[in-house]
Chain A
Amino acid sequence: MRSRRYRKCSAIIAAAVAVPALAIAATTKELEVMHLWTSGGEAAALQVLKDAVEKEGITWVDSAIAGDGGRTQQQALQARFAAGNPPASALAPGQLVLEYYAQDSLGDLTAVGTAENWDELIAPALQPFAKADGKWVAVPFNMHRENNAYYNKAILDENGGKVPETWDEFLAYLDKVKQGGKVIPLALGGDDWQETEIFSNILIGQAGVDFYKKAIMGLDKEALGSDHMIKALETFRKVLSYADANRPGRDWALATGMVMRGEAAVQFQGDWAVGDFTKADKKPGVDYVCASAPGNRSSFVFVTDFMAMFEQPTEETRANQEVLARLIMDRDVQEQFNIKKGSIPARLDVKPDHFNDCAKQAFADRDAAIKEGSLLPSLVESVAVPNDAKAAIIDVIHALANDASMSPQDAAAQFVENLEAL
């Protein structure tokens, strides 16, 4: 009697263990894609790729993880990777592609890359994040531009109508708006990354592209503690003093809304903000002006979404990954995807004709930047430096932005100290 009960018991346990195992084994022609694109424009952009993939007879297994500007998805990916169960393909910022590659976990896409001539089609500045040791391991979708300024057109017209070209002019503009007393000069939220975008714009616009390359991309301690840096930090302090006191906790999109509604004069933001303007039926050149940040005209700070392909056990899934990789870089997919996403294609041979005016400007600026060697990886979005070094810098920016007792000199010294402590 008892033994039968136990046998029944063990059968149930065995079944409980076996059923999920069966479910895993019974894969059809499908491919898991982990991404963070769930909002209107993003989801529409991804649909372009999804349609193309399904046309090839592959079932798209959607793992959408939104939240916290993509950080939630990165955390989920890191956790699944640590558990030994990464998805077949996942979005990752440039530096994380390199981290996963260093962990020997990415598959090899060189066959597709060579056949499709990626060496020629992908901007050289992007290649170090998609190609490691001569092997293609990830595919870039797009190039967002980070160093933009969005001006409310009516307020700009009231205050001279001219977009400031230098940081001194910009400060004068903010001051003029402030004197007017009607609107908040600078629309800004409370996140460390929003503050750091401004800082990086100042660094490029004031200290120059070479200094950015040395101090940020090269993490050169001498440059980080230098007078150029202190001057940039002083400007940063001054610029931030034109934001309102209630900015902590404010989302970037709320700050964009302030510019739209004429409650604030200008915001620095990546070109994903254009999507919000468009959604609110605001037209570039009529309701708002998209411009590069002061002194940033001939430089293009890029933020790129890469699709990293994790090594797969079965030949079939590997073949599916190659199809996905080829389609991401497909010219039509790149065009349609990026029109909907608000970015410009990672692929250099797509024509700008069907894009909006802000994006057309971005195409032109990118061409100029490639010529001048000023196509720069973003600090904030984990392209320029690894996450820990980025955090060491952003911590200081965030502290300086919020702690009145900290001086720019302290901040510059703190950069060096934080990096040495890593």
Chain B
Amino acid sequence: MPEGRIYSPGHAVAVAGFGGGSRQVLTALAVLIPSMLAVGLFVYVFVAWTGVISLTTSRFAPDYTFVGLSQYFKLWANDRWITSVANLGIFSLLFIGLTVGAGLVLAIFLDQRIRAENAIRTIYLYPMAISFIVTGIAWKWLLTPDLGIEKLVRSWGFADFKFDWIVDPRMAIYTIVIAAFWQSAGFVMAIFLAALRGVDSEIIKAARIDGASLPEIYRSIVIPMVRPAFLSVIVILLYQALRSFDLVVALTNGGPGFASDLPTTFMFKYTFGRSQLAQGAASAIMITMTVAAVMIPYLYSELRHERRR
């Protein structure tokens, strides 16, 4: 999950600075400056450039005729954008809810020191190793009625069986939830399992002696103790949901119609498929601002935490 890492040059400088002399600081800076410059240019300068473009009339190529915020008004008057934002809401809520729930349950089951734990853990974690494109295409085949699950169940004799969500505009967005959930649940399980293993077994033993049942122990002691893991998992999943793109492209490509578009696919289609660079830029800025609204409080609390330590 390399994309899931939160890159923060400030972190590394602070760590390198600890306990060393000024020479180490210099070395640290020398090592970091190239990547900081690269990130500064390729991330922040381009974010700023996208912001500038979103204020212009650019169509096929950049055109610096400024029109204020009118691209944003146009964006929010566009049904396709509204649909994609609503889809993002549905998708994020269900995806995060299901994945966190299932990941936690799986982790608790695995935490019971069962046999063949390693093998089972690998199986659950395995989908994470597959790229979203592959997941998308595999699920597309599974979900296509005349090819996948529906056909299989019908061939077993259930002639009326119906599972056609992927071709139903009202249900298509839920197929993306299914595929994304399948891909990420094992990863969430691994994080929770690590957190559960970090809980001091003495506390659990003490609770046992006091007569608490296993569900009670998990509900009142263990789960509250792994709260930091919840925060990490939710932030990672939320940000994964916000930037979902390849999965949608491979699974439904936004269809049927525009029923399963997300803001990211909207942005891509408008920028590259339709020569509406400024509209695409405005939607990209909206996505960036949404990500920032999630990430900034998270980073802030993390950094404050670190300083206190």
Question: Which A residues form the contact surface with B (CB < 8 A)?
Answer: 9, 71, 74-75, 78-79, 81-82, 96, 99, 102-103, 190, 244-249, 386-388, 390-391, 395, 398-399, 401-403, 421
B144 at the interface (CB under 8 A from A): yes
Distance to closest chain B CB from A416 (angstroms): 15
CA A395 to CA B256, docked complex, whole Å = 12
CA A247 to CA B164, docked complex, whole Å = 11
Task: Say whether B62 contacts A248, CB under 8 Å.
Answer: no
Who on chain B is nearest to A414 by CB? Answer: B79
Distance to closest chain B CB from A268 (angstroms): 19
Who on chain B is nearest to A98 by CB? Answer: B60
Chain A residues whose CB sits within 8 angstroms of the CB of B259 once the complex forms: 402
Task: Say whether A248 contacts B167, CB under 8 Å.
Answer: yes
Task: Say whether A388 contacts B274, CB under 8 Å.
Answer: yes
Q: A-B contact count, CB below 8 Å?
A: 78
CA A386 to CA B80, docked complex, whole Å = 20
Interface string of B17-53 (1 = CB under 8 A from A): 0000000000000100000000000000000000000
Task: Say whether B253 contacts A391, CB under 8 Å.
Answer: no
CA A97 to CA B293, docked complex, whole Å = 41
Main SS class of interface, A: helix
Interface string of B229-253 (1 = CB under 8 A from A): 0000000000000000000000011
Chain A residues whose CB sits within 8 angstroms of the CB of B30 once the complex forms: 9
Main SS class of interface, B: loop
Task: Say whether A248 contacts B255, CB under 8 Å.
Answer: yes
B127 at the interface (CB under 8 A from A): no
Question: Which B residues form the contact surface with A (CB < 8 A)?
Answer: 30, 59-62, 74, 77-78, 80, 140, 144-146, 164, 166-167, 169, 172, 252-253, 255-259, 272-276
Which residue from A96, A246, A390 sits with its C-beta under 8 Å from B146?
A246
CA A390 to CA B164, docked complex, whole Å = 31
Who on chain B is nearest to A76 by CB? Answer: B272
Chain B residues whose CB sits within 8 angstroms of the CB of A399 once the complex forms: 257-258
Task: Say whether A388 contacts B275, CB under 8 Å.
Answer: yes
Distance to closest chain A CB from B269 (angstroms): 8
Task: Say whether B272 contacts A246, CB under 8 Å.
Answer: no
Distance to closest chain A CB from B135 (angstroms): 15
Who on chain B is nearest to A394 by CB? Answer: B274
Task: Say whether A248 contacts B61, CB under 8 Å.
Answer: no
Q: A82-B61, A246-B145, A421-B74 are in contact. Are A402 and B272 (CB under 8 A)?
A: no
Given contacts A9-B30, A71-B273, A388-B276, 7 further A-B contacts (CB under 8 A): A75-B272, A99-B61, A245-B167, A248-B255, A398-B257, A402-B169, A402-B259
Task: Say whether B276 contacts A249, CB under 8 Å.
Answer: no
Distance to closest chain B CB from A264 (angstroms): 12
CA A293 to CA B89, docked complex, whole Å = 43
Task: Say whether A246 contacts B169, CB under 8 Å.
Answer: no
CA A402 to CA B167, docked complex, whole Å = 9
Distance to closest chain B CB from A266 (angstroms): 19
